[in-house]
């Protein structure tokens, strides 16, 4: 048979077949529409604040199938795909009669099916209704479905389906999944060589998998490059340069960041495809790299948690709940950012802040670091040594325990907890205990997230913000009074910014504090600049002791590394507010040159024989004693000066007993305004008015 006879027969067969398709469509379209709803579900994705992929989840059948649109891929890839698969894609209506004629000619000439004349629309039809065999009946059904699909979808929507569902071998489907697995990047920017490989693989995905059949993948890529060059889909010389590029011989893991946040997002809205978070991918990668590096040094069974929050907005920029989510030896599935642990010394800055705010001390005030007995409570320093007389600045920088307890005794533990409530944080007290001095040394339970939330006030001029959960929390400014006044915050930050960095860590211009809980169970380090707060916790999830675990030696190096790897430039700490100045000791008023409390509870800032003065509660204070719950807590009463014994009166009614101590308690009858009066042995009196909440 002559060639022109074969061409004629092939072309005629193509036209007749196309006509048969349209005839079949005309009579059956409404009765047998294409089952578009059967196409496989796509993977759930967890995205960062900018829409970058943090983590994807396999579909229920175990496939990585990421939703992809034409806008998600490099235009160069789209041009090469159409040039190789379906040159007349934008001109036909689902089937290409010229391609069918060519296929018919090849069938007659070779006696077998050489090419199927599949358009991209027909390939989408095959993806919707997979068929194992290559028969004329199967091809005919694909053609019918392709025309039906074209009637219902735009060309771009058809391309979107192909880009999402095209097979790439194994459990990879779609261009995005393949690009991430073989190149470690989204397909938005591809080289010619990368685009050619992604075009080639779906034809025979298992035979051409680069990780199993490298030679077949290289040969298939070469054919795509040659055809793209002939069709002018790529520039001159691009094919030769692309052929010289190595084909990746192994698959990479798809992005798997922020395991705990991602799981929380999925639990919250299991039917959603996209879950937007407040995390920043660059920050998250840096924090997880830091955690992985630290895990190699920590040893078995130890975990760590890291939280980085924006102190202005409250949004979580990065969060690591454990070293490795799948590490059973470290209980990696537990999100340690949400577990209450003893904070060690990390709450001390707020004690000093209250003391600064009340005018009890200045940075250069001398305070004693010697053994002391606070009515049976005898705090000791971490190293069991004492420094003697030190300045308040030195006491906080060295994290000395006795000076911190002296100040907490003066400002009142209950008042400290009230301030924490202003920041939306409620530490957990031991069962059946009222606020005591042990709070200053870690005698409460608190989560890493709550500690970070408290420190947002130090980074934000005293105004705390509510940090979110990274997903759909409600971060933002907390209405109400500030946690601390700006001048007090500046004093604390000025001191903490002078703490020496751990060995080998560069000075980053941050203020930070460390803490170690009793029994070496928890190591903490919390740091901040003028914009971000970063908190680190290290310990065993089972609360076991770890000899040698310390905040300064274990957690602080991780803090500085995490700041460096976060990729965020340091924002300078806030400038001193009006009235904030570091005064030399010689220039301090007499009452602030030395701070101490004697055995009688007297604040030693002036003569003992002065008239009594109520130092707590202060005049006009609103004191939260739990009136709303109906179970009122006692109010601590403190005075200085005067001569014992003392008679206290509440709203004109005397308390039951005379007291020789300068500390007392009173339980009010209910909420509202109350007048408190104290009278000393010489008949001198002092009064304050307070509001009980």
pLDDT for 101 equals 67
Collapse the DSSP code of 288 into the 3-class scheme (helix H, G, I; strand E, B; otherwise coil) and give the result: helix
pLDDT for 300 equals 87
Domain shared by 411 and 482, yes or no: yes
- CA distances to 196, 551, 635, 652 from 647, rounded to whole Å, are 92, 46, 16, 11
**Residue 659: count of CB within 10 angstroms of its CB:** 18
pLDDT band at 15 (very low <50, low <70, confident <90, very high): low
Domain around 9: 1-32
Q: What is the mean pLDDT of the chain?
A: 88
Domain shared by 371 and 457, yes or no: yes
CATH number, domain with residue 393: 3.40.710.10
pLDDT band at 623 (very low <50, low <70, confident <90, very high): confident
- DSSP-assigned letter for residue 331: T
Angle, alpha carbons 548-352-373 (nearest 5°): 70
What residue ranges in 327-385 does DSSP mark as E strands?
A: 366-369
pLDDT at 653 over 50: yes
Domain shared by 666 and 619, yes or no: yes
85 is catalytic: yes
Token output for 135: 């028969």
What's the average model confidence in pLDDT over 639-646?
A: 82
pLDDT band at 608 (very low <50, low <70, confident <90, very high): very low
Is 663 within the bounds of a domain?
yes
Which of these three, 217, 244, 271, is where a domain ends?
Answer: 244
Domain shared by 626 and 570, yes or no: no
pLDDT for 626 equals 80
Domain shared by 389 and 523, yes or no: yes
596 is catalytic: no
> Which residues are bridge partners to 524 per DSSP?
515, 537
**Residue 109: count of CB within 10 angstroms of its CB:** 14
Q: Could you tell me what percent of the chain has a pLDDT over 70?
A: 90
pLDDT at 445 over 90: yes
Closest to 38 in 3D by CA, of 138, 120, 114, 145: 145
pLDDT band at 683 (very low <50, low <70, confident <90, very high): confident
pLDDT at 10 over 50: no
Q: Which of 85, 238, 285, 485 is catalytic?
A: 85
pLDDT for 205 equals 95
**Contact between 53 and 276 (Cβ < 8 Å):** no
**Contact between 11 and 104 (Cβ < 8 Å):** yes
pLDDT for 17 equals 53
**Burial of 299: CB neighbours in 10 Å, binned 0-12, 13-18, 19+:** exposed
Is 344 within the bounds of a domain?
yes
Query: Mind listing the pLDDT tens digit for each residue in 477-523?
Result: 888 889 999 999 999 999 999 999 999 888 889 999 999 999 999 99
Q: Say which range, 23-27, 76-80, 563-567, 573-577, has the weakest mean pLDDT.
A: 23-27
For 595, the enclosing helix (H) or strand (E) is strand 594-595
Domain shared by 76 and 8, yes or no: no
Is 551 within the bounds of a domain?
yes
- DSSP-assigned letter for residue 330: G
pLDDT band at 24 (very low <50, low <70, confident <90, very high): low
Which of these three, 210, 244, 278, is where a domain ends?
Answer: 244
Domain shared by 11 and 76, yes or no: no
Domain shared by 523 and 414, yes or no: yes
Query: Mind listing the pLDDT tens digit for each residue in 387-411?
Result: 999 999 999 999 999 999 999 999 9
- DSSP-assigned letter for residue 62: S
pLDDT for 280 equals 97
Is 295 within the bounds of a domain?
no
d(CA 471, CA 397): 36
Domain shared by 193 and 105, yes or no: yes
Domain shared by 154 and 236, yes or no: yes
Q: Which of 322, 342, 345, 517 is catalytic?
A: 345
pLDDT at 27 over 60: no
Our count of domains for the chain comes to 4
Domain shared by 420 and 527, yes or no: yes
Is 469 within the bounds of a domain?
yes
Is 596 within the bounds of a domain?
no
Strands 172-173 and 64-65: parallel
Collapse the DSSP code of 639 into the 3-class scheme (helix H, G, I; strand E, B; otherwise coil) and give the result: strand
Query: Mind listing the pLDDT tens digit for each residue in 235-284?
Result: 888 999 999 999 999 999 999 999 999 999 999 999 899 999 999 999 99
d(CA 413, CA 137): 83
Token output for 443: 């005698």
**Burial of 29: CB neighbours in 10 Å, binned 0-12, 13-18, 19+:** middle
Domain shared by 225 and 129, yes or no: yes
Of the chain, the end-to-end C-alpha distance in Å amounts to 104
Is 19 within the bounds of a domain?
yes
Omega cis (within 30) before 514: no
d(CA 217, CA 285): 32
* 84 vs 112 pLDDT, higher one: 84
Is 593 within the bounds of a domain?
no
Q: What is the pTM of this model?
A: 0.80
What's the average model confidence in pLDDT over 57-73?
A: 95
């Amino acid at each position: 048979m002559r060639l022109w006879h074969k061409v004629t027969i092939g072309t005629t067969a193509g036209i007749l077949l196309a006509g048969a398709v349209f005839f079949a469509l005309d009579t059956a379209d409404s009765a047998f529409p294409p089952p578009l709803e059967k196409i496989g579900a796509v993977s759930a994705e967890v995205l960062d604040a900018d829409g970058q992929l943090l983590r994807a989840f396999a579909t229920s059948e175990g496939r990585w199938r990421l939703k992809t649109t034409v806008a998600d891929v490099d235009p160069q890839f789209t041009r090469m795909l159409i040039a190789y698969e379906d040159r007349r894609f934008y001109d036909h209506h689902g089937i290409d009669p010229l391609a069918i004629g060519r296929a018919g000619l090849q069938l007659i000439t070779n006696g077998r099916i050489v090419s199927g004349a599949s358009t991209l629309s027909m390939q989408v039809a095959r993806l919707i209704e997979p068929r194992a065999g290559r028969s004329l009946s199967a091809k005919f059904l694909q053609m019918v479905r392709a025309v039906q699909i074209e009637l219902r979808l735009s060309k771009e929507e058809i391309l979107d389906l192909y880009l999402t569902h095209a097979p790439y071998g194994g459990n990879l489907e779609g261009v995005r999944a393949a690009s991430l697995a073989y190149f470690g990047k989204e397909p938005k920017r591809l080289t010619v060589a990368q685009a050619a490989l992604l075009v080639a693989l779906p034809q025979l995905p298992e035979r051409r998998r680069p990780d199993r059949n490298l030679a077949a993948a290289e040969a298939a890529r070469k054919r795509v490059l040659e055809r793209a060059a002939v069709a002018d889909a790529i520039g001159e010389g691009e094919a030769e340069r692309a052929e010289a590029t190595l084909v990746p011989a192994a698959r990479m893991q798809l992005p798997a960041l922020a395991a705990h946040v991602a799981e929380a997002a999925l639990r919250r809205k299991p039917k959603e495809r996209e879950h937007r978070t407040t995390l920043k991918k660059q920050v998250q990668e840096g924090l997880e790299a830091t955690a992985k590096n630290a895990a190699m040094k920590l040893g078995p069974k130890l975990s760590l948690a890291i939280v980085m929050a924006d102190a202005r907005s409250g949004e979580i920029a990065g969060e690591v709940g454990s070293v490795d989510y799948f590490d059973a030896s470290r209980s990696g599935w537990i999100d340690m950012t949400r577990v209450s642990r003893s904070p060690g010394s990390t709450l001390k800055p707020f004690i000093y802040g209250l003391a600064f705010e009340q005018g009890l001390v200045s940075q250069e005030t001398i305070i004693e670091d010697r053994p002391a007995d606070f009515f049976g409570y005898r705090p000791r320093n971490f190293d069991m040594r004492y420094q003697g007389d030190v300045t308040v600045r030195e006491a906080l920088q060295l994290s000395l325990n006795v000076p911190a307890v002296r100040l907490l005794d003066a400002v009142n533990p209950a008042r400290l907890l009230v301030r924490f409530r202003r920041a939306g944080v409620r530490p957990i007290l031991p069962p059946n205990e009222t606020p005591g001095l042990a709070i200053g040394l870690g005698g409460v339970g608190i989560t890493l997230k709550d500690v970070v939330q408290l420190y947002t006030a130090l980074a934000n001029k005293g105004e705390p913000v509510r940090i979110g959960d990274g997903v759909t929390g409600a971060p933002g400014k907390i209405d109400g009074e500030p946690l601390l006044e700006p001048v007090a915050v500046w004093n604390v930050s000025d001191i903490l910014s002078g703490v020496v960095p751990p060995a080998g860590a560069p000075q980053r211009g941050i203020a930070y504090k460390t803490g170690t809980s009793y029994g070496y169970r928890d190591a903490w380090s919390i740091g901040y600049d003028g914009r971000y707060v970063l908190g680190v916790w290290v310990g065993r999830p089972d609360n076991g002791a770890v000899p040698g675990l310390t905040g300064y030696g274990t957690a602080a190096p991780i803090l500085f590394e995490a700041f460096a790897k976060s990729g965020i430039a340091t924002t300078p700490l806030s400038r001193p507010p009006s009235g904030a100045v570091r005064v030399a000791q010689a220039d301090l008023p007499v009452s602030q040159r030395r701070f101490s409390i004697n055995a009688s509870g007297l604040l030693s800032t002036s003569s003992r024989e002065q008239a009594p003065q109520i130092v707590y509660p202060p005049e006009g204070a609103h004191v939260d004693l739990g009136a709303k719950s109906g179970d009122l807590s006692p109010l601590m009463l403190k005075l200085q000066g005067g001569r014992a014994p003392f008679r206290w009166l509440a709203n004109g009614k005397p308390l039951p007993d005379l007291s020789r101590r300068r500390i007392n308690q009173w339980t009010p009858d209910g909420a509202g305004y109350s007048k408190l009066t104290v009278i000393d042995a010489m008949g001198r009196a002092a009064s304050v008015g307070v509001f009980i909440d």
